[in-house]
Amino acid sequence: MYRSHVLVCGGTGCTSSGSQEIILALQTELKKQGLEKEVCVVQTGCHGLCALGPIMIVYPEASFYSMVKVDDIPEIVEEHLLKGRVVKRLLYDETLTDDGVRSLSDTDFYRHQHRIALQNCGVINPENIDEYIGTHGYEALGKVLTELTPDDVIKTLLDSGLRGRGGGGFPTGLKWKFAKASENKQKYVCCNADEGDPGAFMDRSVLEGDPHVVLEAMTIAGYTIGSNQGYIYVRAEYPIAVQRLTIAIDQARKYGLLGKNIFDSGFDFDIDLRLGAGAFVCGEETALMTSIEGKRGEPRPRPPFPAVKGLFGKPTLLNNVETYANIPQIILHGAEWFASMGTGKSKGTKVFALGGKINNTGLVEIPMGTTLRTIIEDIGGGIPNGKKFKAAQTGGPSGGCIPTEHLDIPIDYDNLISIGSMMGSGGLIVMDEDNCMVDIAKFFLQFTVDESCGKCTPCRVGTKRLYEILDKITKGKATLEDLDRLEELCYYIKDNSLCGLGQTAPNPVLSTLHYFKDEYLAHVIDKKCPAGVCKALLSYEIDPEKCKGCTLCARICPAGAITGTVKHPHTINKEKCLKCGACMEKCRFGAIQKH
């Protein structure tokens, strides 16, 4: 028995801001104070507030310390762990109130969230199977193997309304039903942990913080569809996830929760890892399976669907990490419990990786139907530096931008599609008035051009042409005809590409064209970039009234474009100017403007 538990976040975000050093310093300091038998240090997965890492929670008080540094450790150990006095200066400021310390669950960041897929992340030690079992882990598997038939499981999933969290939103129960219905001695269960969308790290956090939940769900899937072998396809750039999965698989095998005769039910199931090299297209299900087979990860036409002919030509069930993470709880709490959350056709919760121009960047799990406004203003803490919200991008390279007018739309699969975006896997990038929407579309197109596998011409050549037109627009060289060609080409690529990558690649262009046409027109007609991003369209000027002739700008200009004498107004030679903005940053008198 320990008197105190100190939970230190060991997710990728906190690890990169130094949580491993914090753990070492903590262990050393506890030893120094003779507290190592009284205080237990636990490394957990992500809590969500990654921007404030490294994060530490001390129980039983549940004091939430953020941005902890190695130098803070002696004070935390001496003051809090030895003398029982909370170190107020390190507390997450939202938990600090006039009359004491507020619980973390009452803060704006957590108040609107509901954690199902993330329920164990930040709570248990992911490298210790006993901690998972201690939170009802593997109970759902026990129930399934000893009390339920495969059809019972499928009915529960169908009734729950769970839909795939990997992007498409296909009903999970239906997918399991199809895979079960395929007759074959050998079937496979796959987990898609490729997560290639820029800015997304939902699946990584589940794997790092709660790897057993995926193993448990896949084993339930194996029993349900009649498979004895599972594969987790995880990108090699996720070393912490790979390490924790390896440990978890090993532990589950030792406990008899993977392998032969699980729970004495006569059912055998095992799971192996396959590492992906980080190509976005390998997240597409047919490409993923081709890659597991050891071949180049290229998509193939569907049908046949994986449920009929998948991995090694056998019936295969493939789900996303977050989809699996919901399943044990649905089995334990029942379909109605799950279906009571969310909207008409989108049940339960969804995890989003909040990024971009937002104060609380990190990971959030919200009930379906929560509005974007709640996510951005309440959970996300609004836009930094008093800037104005411009758009939120959901669905990554397959999605679109949502403008202010739709901030109050309840988020679910169908609503997002109806406003020209999509759920995708859960990346949510917030943009403010300083973002240029043409530039954003160009960024996503650059990504798809780089990631297109090249198998079919509409995608390989078409996305490149789209990129070129966007580039022409940002350089002020496009005409109105180019805008028409841009739109026409978008629909052609959507209609003629072989896989989802090409079919959705034009979405960022179409949605920005739809909501921000005036910005495109400003680039094309006025040769201006209203947000001041597109370099070729900018010009820097010095206001002679404000210029004090301090010479700072002339000294910093890398192009020698600024001339003038001390105490006299300076001027910029536009021919020479590289538009780097260094002079504007340097001028203390606000005399330099960009137009």
Distance in Å, CB of 573 to ligand SF4, minimum? 8
Q: Which residues have a Cβ under 8 Å from the Cβ of 491 and sit 6 or more positions away?
A: 506
Q: What, of ligand SF4, ligand FES, ligand FMN, none, does residue 285 touch, CB below 5 to 8 Å by kind?
A: ligand FMN
Give start and end residues of each alpha helix (H) in 419-573: 437-451, 457-474, 480-496, 500-504, 507-515, 517-521, 552-556
Q: Which one, 170 or 491, has the nearer CB to ligand FMN?
A: 170
Treating both helix axes as pointing N-terminal to C-terminal, what angle do 139-147 and 321-333 enclose, rounded to 10 degrees? 60
Give start and end residues of each alpha helix (H) in 256-394: 285-292, 321-333, 335-339, 372-373
Q: What φ, ψ does residue 586 adopt, rounded to 5°?
A: -80, -35
Distance CA 201, CA 1 (A): 35
Residue whose C-alpha is closest to residue 320's, from 182, 442, 443, 204: 204
Distance CA 316, CA 306 (A): 5
Q: Which residues have a Cβ under 8 Å from the Cβ of 136 and sit 6 or more positions away?
A: 332
Q: What, of ligand FES, ligand FMN, ligand SF4, none, does residue 511 touch, CB below 5 to 8 Å by kind?
A: none
By rule CB under 6 A, what string of x and - marks binding of each residue 500-539 to ligand FMN?
xx--------------------------------------
Q: Which one, 17 or 286, has the nearer CB to ligand FES?
A: 17
50 binds ligand FES per the rule CB under 6 A: yes
Residues at the interface with ligand SF4 (CB under 6 A): 281, 299, 452-456, 459-460, 497-499, 501-502, 540, 542, 547-553, 556-559, 561-562, 570, 572, 577-583, 586-587, 589, 591-592
Distance in Å, CB of 333 to ligand FMN, minimum? 20
195 binds ligand FMN per the rule CB under 6 A: yes
Residue whose C-alpha is closest to residue 15's, from 241, 311, 342: 241
Distance CA 44, CA 39 (A): 16
Q: What, of ligand FMN, ligand FES, ligand SF4, none, does residue 245 touch, CB below 5 to 8 Å by kind?
A: none
Q: What, of ligand FES, ligand FMN, ligand SF4, none, does residue 55 touch, CB below 5 to 8 Å by kind?
A: ligand FES
Distance in Å, CB of 353 to ligand FMN, minimum? 13
Measuring CA to CA, how many Å separate 508 from each of 123, 255, 409, 445, 503?
37, 47, 19, 8, 12
Near ligand FES in 310-369, by CB under 6 A:
362-363
Q: Which of 25, 29, 39, 53 binds ligand FES (CB under 6 A)?
A: 53
Distance in Å, CB of 46 to ligand FES, minimum? 3
CB atoms closer than 10 angstroms to residue 524 = 20
Q: What, of ligand FMN, ligand FES, ligand SF4, none, does residue 192 touch, CB below 5 to 8 Å by kind?
A: ligand FMN
168 binds ligand FMN per the rule CB under 6 A: yes
CB contact burial 429-458 (16+ within 10 A = b; e otherwise): bbbbeebbbbbbbbbbbebbbebbbebbeb
Q: Which residues have a Cβ under 8 Å from the Cβ of 533 and sit 6 or more positions away?
A: 434, 435, 436, 439
CB atoms closer than 10 angstroms to residue 306 = 24
Q: What, of ligand FMN, ligand FES, ligand SF4, none, does residue 346 touch, CB below 5 to 8 Å by kind?
A: none
Distance in Å, CB of 396 to ligand SF4, minimum? 14
Q: What, of ligand SF4, ligand FES, ligand FMN, none, does residue 283 touch, CB below 5 to 8 Å by kind?
A: ligand FMN
Per-position DSSP letters for 72-118, written without gaps between them: GHHHIIIIIIIT----GGGB-GGGEETTEE--GGGSHHHHT---STT
Q: What, of ligand SF4, ligand FMN, ligand FES, none, does residue 49 touch, CB below 5 to 8 Å by kind?
A: ligand FES
123 binds ligand FES per the rule CB under 6 A: no
453 binds ligand FES per the rule CB under 6 A: no
Distance in Å, CB of 87 to ligand FES, minimum? 19
Distance CA 439, CA 443 (A): 6
Q: Which of 58, 179, 281, 537 binds ligand FMN (CB under 6 A)?
A: 281
323 binds ligand FMN per the rule CB under 6 A: yes
Distance CA 478, CA 500 (A): 29
Contact 437, 490 (CB under 8 A): no
Distance in Å, CB of 241 to ligand FMN, minimum? 13
Residue whose C-alpha is closest to residue 220's, from 144, 164, 272, 278: 144
Angle (CA) 507 399 429, round 5°:
130
Peptide bond into 60 cis (omega under 30): yes
Q: Looking at beta carbons, which residue is closest to ligand SF4?
A: 502
Distance in Å, CB of 430 to ligand SF4, minimum? 28
For residue 36, the SS3 value is coil
Contact 211, 248 (CB under 8 A): yes
By rule CB under 6 A, what string of x and - marks binding of each residue 3-32 to ligand FES?
------x-xxxx------------------
- Region of 42-50, 56-64, 141-149, 253-261 interacting with ligand FES (CB under 6 A): 42-50
Distance in Å, CB of 12 to ligand FES, minimum? 6
Distance CA 452, CA 447 (A): 9
Distance in Å, CB of 413 to ligand FMN, minimum? 11
Q: What, of ligand FMN, ligand FES, ligand SF4, none, does residue 399 touch, CB below 5 to 8 Å by kind?
A: none
Chain residues that interact with ligand FMN, rule: CB under 6 A: 164-168, 170, 192, 194-196, 280-281, 283-285, 318-320, 323, 425, 499-501
Chain residues that interact with ligand FES, rule: CB under 6 A: 9, 11-14, 46-50, 53, 55, 362-363
